[in-house]
Amino acid sequence: MSNIPLGITTHVQKICSLYKRTLRNLESFYDRRHVYRYQAVLCREKFEKMINEKDARKAAEMLKQGEEELFLTQHPIPKKFAKSPGGVAYERVVTPPDWVLDYWHPLEKAQYPEYFKKREQRKKEFIAMWEKEYGKPDPKDTHH
C-alpha cells in the first residue's frame, strides 16, 4: 500500500527518484567503497545535466532515456535492506495485537495479576472515555 502515488509528481521529483534508484543499483554492482563513489560521481554529473536542462521536451526525453538505461543495466540480484520489503528479515518479528491477551486462560492470567488488574482498569477507563466522547452505543444498532 505504501507505493500508491498520492499526487502528481514533478519532473524534479521524478529525476530525484531515478537518481536514488540508480545509486542503489550501483551499490549492488560495486562492493568497494572507492569504486562505488567514483561511479556515483559520474552518475551525479549526468543527473546534474538532466536537472539543469531548460527545454521541457529535451528534459522529458533525457528522463525517459535514463529510466530505460536503468532498466537495461539492473543488477540480477539487487541489494536489499534486511528489514525492508524483499529483505531476508522483512516482517520476521510479528508483534501480536493487544486483543490476544483477552483470550488467555485464567490460569495464564493468574501468573501476572498486577498486569491484568491494571489492564482491566485501563480498559474500563478507555470505554468511559469513549462513551464520554462519542456516547453510548444504541442497543437497536447491535446485531444479535
Position 63 in a domain: yes
DSSP type of residue 82: T
**pLDDT at position 74:** 95
Give me the residue label for grid cell 540508480.
22
What is the tens place of the pLDDT at every residue in 95-104?
A: 899 999 999 9
pLDDT of residue 3: 66
Indicate whether 6 belongs to any domain. Answer: no
Q: How confident is the model at residue 15 (pLDDT cuts 50, 70, 90)?
A: very high
68 and 27 share one domain: yes
Q: Per residue in 77-130, pLDDT tens?
A: 999 999 999 889 998 988 899 999 999 999 999 999 999 999 999 999 999 999
pTM for the structure as a whole:
0.61
> Biggest alpha carbon distance in the chain?
74
Task: With respect to residue 90, please indicate whether it lies within any of the assigned structural domains.
Answer: no
Task: Report yes or no on 112 lying in a domain.
Answer: yes
Q: Is residue 88 in a domain?
A: no
Residues 24-63 have pLDDT tens digits of: 999 999 989 999 999 999 999 999 988 888 898 999 999 9
The confidence band for 6, taking pLDDT boundaries of 50, 70 and 90, is confident
Residue 66 buriedness (CB in 10 A; 0-12 / 13-18 / 19+): buried
State the cell numbers at 22: 540508480
Q: Which residues contact 82 (CB under 8 A, 6 or more apart)?
A: 88, 89, 90
- Regarding whether 103 and 66 lie in a shared domain, the answer is no
End-to-end CA distance of the chain: 35
Is there a contact between 79 and 27 (Cβ–Cβ < 8 Å)? yes
pLDDT of residue 53: 87
pLDDT score at 140 = 81
| Mean pLDDT taken over the chain | 91
Q: Which domain holds residue 40?
A: 11-72
CB 62 within 8 A of CB 55: no
Residue 1 clears pLDDT 60, i.e. is over it: no
Both 25 and 62 in a single domain?
yes
- Whether 85 is covered by a domain: the verdict is no
User: pLDDT over 90 for what percent of the chain?
Assistant: 70
Do residue 114 and residue 62 come from a single domain?
no
For residue 119, give Cα distances in angstroms to 32, 51, 124. 53, 56, 9
Let me know: does 19 contact 67? Beta carbons within 8 Å.
no
- Would residue 91 count as lying in a domain? no
